[in-house]
Amino acid sequence: MAFLTVEIIEELERLDPVVRSAFIKILKQIEKHMAETVTREDFRELKQTVAELSINVRELNKSVAELTEAQKRSEQRISKLEKAVAELAETQKKTEQRLNELAEAQKKTEQRLNELIGDHKKTREQLGGLSHTVGYILEDRAYVGLPILLEKDLNIKIITPFKRDFIEISPGKYIEVNIIAKGTKNGKEVYIIGEAKAQLKKRDNDLLPK
């Protein structure tokens, strides 16, 4: 192929092997045809065609290079995206694990809270029972000491035993009274009604006789 220039050969070398092989076959056919029928004028036209072909080859090489670079950038972006997706999946996995741990901790907290509520209920029941016990003890002691104090301080003489009883405060409505008894004062009948308290407050103390 004597009509091929160094520039054309260099451009052919840059082509993909398959493309380069096809171009060479075409050029061989052209050379064979030239040897049989080409005139000088045809040869000049052929050189012009080959020159244009060289330009097309260079442009093709440029396009291939640009496409290769674009493909490389795409692969880099895909690689970064895959890495980001993998990191997101790992983060999601850790988040789900943490949520499961929190759910388990919440379950244990609720269980412990229910236990504490149960314990508190039992404590209140025990304290309520203790309060009633203390109240009954105070009432029993009041039954013994009150007659003496009432007669000494208020000139009231008890004529019926102290007891616990219900009194009607309105039609069909009753309240429980801890201390109730009948007595006399200055010849008149009176009723002693009281409430036993485990702890006196100031307002209760203000009601006591001075």
Domain range annotation of the chain:
6-74
Asked if the model's pLDDT at residue 1 lies above 50, the reply is no
- List, for residues 119-159, the tens digit of each pLDDT value: 787 777 666 566 656 666 766 676 777 888 888 888 989 89
Smallest CA-to-CA distance from 192 within 203, 153, 117 is with 153
Smallest CA-to-CA distance from 194 within 150, 157, 159 is with 150
Q: Tell me, what DSSP letter sits at residue 5?
A: -
Q: How confident is the model at residue 184 (pLDDT cuts 50, 70, 90)?
A: very high
Asked if the model's pLDDT at residue 2 lies above 70, the reply is no
Asked if the model's pLDDT at residue 108 lies above 70, the reply is yes
Least confident of 18-32, 39-53, 107-121, 194-208: 194-208
Rg (CA), the chain: 57
The H helix count followed by the E strand count for the chain is 4, 4
Predicted pLDDT at 7: 64
CA 118 to the chain's CA centroid? 28
Neighbours of 11 (CB within 10 A): 20
Q: Give the residue with greater pLDDT, 202 vs 144.
A: 144
**Structure-block tokens of residue 198:** 């485990």
Asked if the model's pLDDT at residue 55 lies above 70, the reply is yes
Q: Per-residue pLDDT averaged across 192-199, rounded?
A: 72
Three-state helix/strand/coil letters over 92-139:
HHHHHHHHHHHHHHHHHHHHHHHHHHHHHHHHHHHHHHHHHHHHHHHH
Cα-based distances in Å from 18 to 25, 63, 89, 98, 103: 11, 17, 43, 57, 64
Average model confidence (pLDDT) for the chain?
Answer: 76
